[in-house]
Amino acid sequence: MRPELPDQMTAIEITAPGGPQQLVPSRRAIPKPAVGEVLLEVAAAGVNRPDCLQRQGGYPPPPGASDIPGLEVAGTVVALGEGVESWKIGDRVCALLTGGGYAEYCTAPAPQCLPIPAGLTLQQAAALPETFFTVWSNIFDRARLQPGETLLIHGGTSGIGTTAIQLAKALGSRVFVTVGGIEKIQPCLDLGAERAINYHEEDFVQAVKELTQNRGVDVILDMVGGDYTQRNLSALAVEGRLVFIAFLRGAKMELNLAPVMMKRLTVTGSTLRARPVADKAPIAQHLQRTVWPLLASGKIRPIIQQIFPLAEAAAAHALMESNRHIGKLLLQVR
């Protein structure tokens, strides 16, 4: 540890399960990096929808993870745990965490840290890890999206959606999205979506059929579940893949699974947080090899709606839960 590091830091605690007002600044001891971890002086932290679920009491930290919310940060390495050789003190990185990001300092597994892409600020880089790891591992690993294939993304203006649109388009796919308002259409088109379907006014199955000459799409990234699920099966092409990353309208539904057999569909999904470091390390390597050059060239970029001071984490959660944002929300730590 650097000798000048303080013992205590400001962090945002969840005082009890409930609304955004449960996010309260508190004083905590600075965490110590374990074997294979680095200690980061946090510059900015990303806010993600799973943080809201955790605050509500529905998404507890996995065993061993910090109870402080926050799944991604960017900052400077200020101490090294035993065995860390890939980073040195003073390196600027962004990192995927299992928790602890809403704080002045946090620990991160060394393999889950990535360099700041050329040309991006630390703040911008704080918006990258959670959505890029999630999009890569679900759309490209699990659902095996190929250049030339078609992709439907639900929640086109979400943090996940704005990342997925750009990445899939940059890697050669046709992208369609659904959005919950007319004001969300143009931002998705600007990011590279060919069509943004306002689900309040249009049936996405019908729209997808029209866009694909009745063929359907090859891959659907779904965070909605519930009543979307049967319709997703209808909107998929033969050999299509449906990948779940959340169930905003519920995980339980009655389904007619006949399309799975008739069209030889694959239904899959994953959740990132609880996966071991050994699973996340290869995703980080893929991102650095394939995606970081796209960020450095400016071909894709993090879409940041608003940056709040750390102490105003509650306001960031309230905005996220209003669904009025487009892209990412951040907390400025220093």
Q: Which is nearer to ligand NAP, 39 or 326 (CB)?
A: 326
Based on the shown chain and the rule CB under 6 A, indicate whether residue 28 belongs to the binding site for ligand NAP.
no
Based on the shown chain and the rule CB under 6 A, indicate whether residue 130 belongs to the binding site for ligand NAP.
yes
Please report the sign of the dihedral spanned by the C-alpha atoms of residue 156, residue 160, residue 163, residue 169.
Answer: negative
User: With contact defined as beta carbons under 8 Å apart, do 281 and 111 qualify?
Assistant: yes
Based on the shown chain and the rule CB under 6 A, indicate whether residue 245 belongs to the binding site for ligand NAP.
yes
The one among 134, 150, 229, 232 contacting ligand NAP by CB under 6 A: 134
Query: In a 10 Å sphere around its CB, with 0-12 CB exposed, 13-18 middle and 19+ buried, how is residue 24 labelled?
Result: middle
Please report the sign of the dihedral spanned by the C-alpha atoms of residue 3, residue 7, residue 12, residue 13.
Answer: positive
Instruction: Fill in the amino acid letter for 98.
Output: T
The least CB distance from residue 56 to ligand NAP, in Å, is 11
Size of site (CB under 6 A) for ligand NAP: 24
Please report the sign of the dihedral spanned by the C-alpha atoms of residue 74, residue 296, residue 115, residue 72.
Answer: positive
How many Cα atoms occupy the beta-carbon half-sphere of 310 within 13 Å? 26
HEC-encoded secondary structure of 66-97:
CCCCCCEEEEEEEEECCCCCCCCCCCEEEEEC
Of 310, 289, 319, 18, the residue nearest 159 (C-alpha): 319
x/- track of binding to ligand NAP for residues 273-292 (CB under 6 A): --------------------
Span of 1-9, 120-128, 242-250, 294-302 interacting with ligand NAP by CB under 6 A: 242-250
The least CB distance from residue 193 to ligand NAP, in Å, is 13
The least CB distance from residue 161 to ligand NAP, in Å, is 7
x/- track of binding to ligand NAP for residues 33-72 (CB under 6 A): ---------------xxx----------------------
Based on the shown chain and the rule CB under 6 A, indicate whether residue 317 belongs to the binding site for ligand NAP.
no
Distance between CA atoms of residues 126 and 134, nearest Å = 15
> Which positions lie near ligand NAP, rule CB under 6 A?
48-50, 130, 134, 155, 157-160, 179-180, 184, 223-224, 245-246, 248-249, 270-272, 320, 323
